[in-house]
Structure 1
Amino acid sequence: MAILFFAAVPGAFAGTRKDIAAELQAAQQALAAGDYPKAYARYSRHSASNPLAQFTLGLFHKNGWGRPVDEVAACRWFEKSAQKKIPAAQHYLGDCLVKGTHRAADSAAALGWYREAAAGGHLISLCSAADLYIKGQGVDKDVKQGLELCTQVAQANSPPAMLKLANYYREVTDVPQDLAAARYWYHQAAERHVHEAQYRLGVMLTEGQGGEPDANTALFWLETAAGEGYAPAYLPVAILYANAEVDPKTGALKPEHLAKIYLWNSAAKARTAAPAQLAEIDRIEKMVLAVMPESWRPDLDRKVAEHLVKYGNK
């Protein structure tokens, strides 16, 4: 909700922040209750002079809260709010100018807004500025400067910046690949509950990218992400369990591992559309059903269904 943005920029409204937030209390209560028509009307009452109201109206249009998404209208509200020093609005205005949403694209102006947003406490804006330096978009290309900007934010304990920095080092064409650095920053973000980082770290550990392979730690991170509904991790978890060491006494997979293969493979089947992955899922399913007791299926199917309902299309 919008109130979370306000809390994320301490000191950004020196002297006036308390007053401009206080007059929006009724609007924020309606928004928190999910009453979008009432909330929109109440924010609109204050939109002529209250920059937080302007910013939140932008969020309504950006996120489609109770109305169709309208990026142009969102950008216009963000611009009004940005001009009155709301850091999150300044960041979003930068995005609007990079894309050319409500006016001609202007990456140089966007860079200025990102820097102003960061100066007001919205530090992740430096990583958006980093994109422009790395691409040479609206500014002379300077990969080193771009990496330094985003590294500042990551070192300030920002999980999104950690993830972005790892992605730079792993896959961005303009940045010299450094898989060890990517693995380090994925690990930092993974420890801070970023599901994509947990997944990508797990893949790197599985394949030995950026360091020695470590199947056990890979499984830990992949299953952590999968357990919280991160669908891309489902199939890799099933595969790791399928490749686990067999029980030396029986020469077969341990029962708990067999059950995990079925659970995560079934979850992957429900969330996957890619033909190659579906073929692998089908192969694993046939392997499991050939050895798993039929009596296990009702309970395991129930657990899969409960998980999928809980996490939806995450």
Structure 2
Amino acid sequence: MLKHLAAALFVLVSLSTPALAGTNEGISAYQSGNYGAALHELLLAADAGDPMAQTVLGFMYVNGEGVPQDNALALKWFGLAAPQGNVDAQHNLAYMYDTGLGVPRNVLEAVKWYKLAAAQGRADSQFNLANIYQTGESGVPRDELEAAKWYMLAAQQGDVEAEFSLGALYFDGRGVARNEAEAVKWFTLAAHEHHAEAQYNLGVAYNTGRGVPADNVEAARWFRMAAEQGYAAAQANLGLLYDHGQGVPQDDEQAVKWYALAADQGEPYAQNSLGLMYKAGYGVPQDDVIAYKWLNLAAQQGHAGATKALASLAERMTPEKIEQARKLTSEWRRK
């Protein structure tokens, strides 16, 4: 359920750290896009040991702003600024070690620098650190208690991915005591920030009555929000609600619409449901060939109901029609 997405890397969080005079001029030039003047001023200050100048130079080299893009030089400047306590440099140095950008990947070194930035309250460092503990990587044992701690700190600062991830831990009882109401709280915060998977999980919670009273009207509302962002499982579930008239008026055409969107993304439940709609002619003209195509695709993903429906459908089809349907299946899989 968790999504392990690295937070945005090369964006300055703060320029308020005390700096040498040349650094201030260099930062002003950098912010105005005058990279030549910025480079001149910042190099002088960086060579004099100013951590903010070193950090901004790191950004310039990693992003190729006024200089050739050079990860090794970015690493050099972040590496000089980070031990002096610059939180941006600490986070970005950690990220480079975490992802192997300009340096051999070293998760232990990444954790060291993420922890320093996280201790200064940097939310994306807290989130990335939590991800490492959640999965366990290269010398860092999996520790869901530690993951929950860092997700909580990032979530309390409004980090949307952390809000979602913390909700997932509460929903499943991993690293924290299972608490579905608490999960819904964090999913709701992320969902209001347009996080599609959080919206989907809220739909599931309202549909099943987990952490909230069961309410299919509310489930449909959240499934729709996620479905409109292209989230396949939400599209399939919204189709199901229309199919059965739960939380929305029963509407075969709407059911087909949402099943089709999810099915075209490879969602097996939706492929099976869409195949059944074509088989029966609900919401679409009855078409055994199209029905066979979608049921076949679902069956190939291990959907047991689709396998049974496919067998019964084949009994009423000619060999020519079956061959035509199999050709459509192959064409879909190649696209």
TM-score category (smaller protein): 0.5 to 0.7
Q: 2:334 aligns with which of 297, 306, 309?
A: 309
Question: How far apart are residue 221 of structure 1 and its match?
Answer: 0.3
Q: 2:198 aligns with which of 158, 161, 180?
A: 161
The 2-side partners of 1:42 and 1:301 are apart by 55
- Describe how 1:89-104 pairs up with structure 2 within 5 A: 89-97=125-133, 102-103=140-141
1:189 and 1:18 mapped to 2: Cα distance? 38
Change (3 A) 1:104 1:235: closer
Residue 46 of structure 1 and its aligned partner are, at CA, apart by 7.3
Which of 228, 246, 266 is equivalent to 1:209? 246
SS in 2 for 1:124: helix
Provide the rounded CA distance (Å) in 2 between the counterparts of 1:258 and 1:235: 13
CA distance in 2, matches of 1:259, 1:241: 9
For normalisation by structure 2, the TM-score amounts to 0.64
**Pairing partner for 1:55 from 74, 84, 95:** 95
Q: Distance in 2 between matches of 1:274 and 1:230?
A: 10
Where in structure 1 are there 5+ consecutive unaligned residues?
27-37, 62-66, 248-252
Kindly provide the amino acid, as one letter, of the partner of residue 114 in structure 2: S
Mark the CA change 1:220 to 1:274 in structure 2 (over 3 Å): closer, same or farther.
closer
> What is the root-mean-square deviation in Å for CA atoms of aligned residues?
4.2
Tell me the distance in 1 between the aligned counterparts of 2:174 and 2:5: 32
The SS at the match of 1:209 is coil
Q: Partner of 1:23 in structure 2? A: 61
1:205, CA displacement in angstroms?
Answer: 2.4
Equivalence for 1:240: 277
Task: Give the superposition deviation at 1:184.
Answer: 1.6
1:147 deviates by: 2.2
The superposition leaves residues 17-43 of structure 1 with CA deviations (integer Å, 9 ceiling, x where unpaired) of 8654433247xxxxxxxxxxx98x898
**Structure 1 length normalisation: TM-score?**
0.67
Distance 2:178 2:259 in 1: 36
Deviation at 1:104, TM superposition (A): 6.8
Report the AA paired with residue 13 of structure 1: V
SS in 2 for 1:180: helix
Q: 1:273 aligns with which of 279, 282, 302?
A: 302
Aligned counterpart for 1:123 among listed residues 146, 160, 171: 160
The CA deviation string for residues 81-129 of structure 1, in whole angstroms up to 9 with x for no partner, is 353256444224224445676347353x434422433466631211222
Say whether the 8 Å CA contact 1:163–1:186 is kept in structure 2.
yes
* Seq. identity, %: 18
Name the stretch that deviates more: 153-162 or 90-99.
Answer: 90-99
Taking the TM superposition and a 5 Å limit, the aligned residue runs for 1:174-193 are 175-193=212-230
Aligned residues: 274
Name the counterpart of 1:283: 312
Residue aligning to 2:20: none
2:289 touches 2:321 (CA, 8 Å); kept in 1?
A: no
Q: Is 1:261–2:264 an aligned residue pair?
A: no
Which residue of the partner structure matches residue 35 of structure 1? Answer: none
Structure 2 CA distance, aligned partners of 1:202 and 1:285?
25
Match of 1:14 in 2: 14
Output the CA distance in 1 between the equivalents of 2:108 and 2:226.
30
CA contact (8 A) 2:244 2:250 kept: yes
Counterpart CA distance in 1 for 2:73 and 2:269 is 40
Say which SS state the counterpart of residue 186 (structure 1) adopts: helix
2:58–2:73: 8 Å Cα contact kept in structure 1? no
Structure 1 residues 124 and 240: CA distance shift in structure 2, 3 A: same
Shift of 1:188: 0.9
8 Å Cα contact 2:7-2:128 kept in structure 1: no
- Do the aligned partners of 2:169 and 2:176 also contact (CA within 8 Å) in 1? yes
Letter in 2 for 1:280: A
Task: From the superposition, tell whether residues 82 and 74 of structure 1 become closer, same or farther in structure 2 (CA, over 3 Å).
Answer: same
Q: Structure 2 stretches of 5 or more lacking a match? A: 16-51, 65-69, 83-88
Match of 1:81 among 92, 109, 114: 114
Deviation at 1:189, TM superposition (A): 0.5
2 CA distance for matches of 1:169 and 1:245? Answer: 27
Structure 1 residues 144 and 279, CA gap change in structure 2 (3 angstroms): closer
Task: Give the distance between the partners of 1:45 and 1:92, measured in 2 at CA.
Answer: 22
Tell me if the contact between 1:21 and 1:52 (Cα under 8 Å) persists in the aligned partners: no
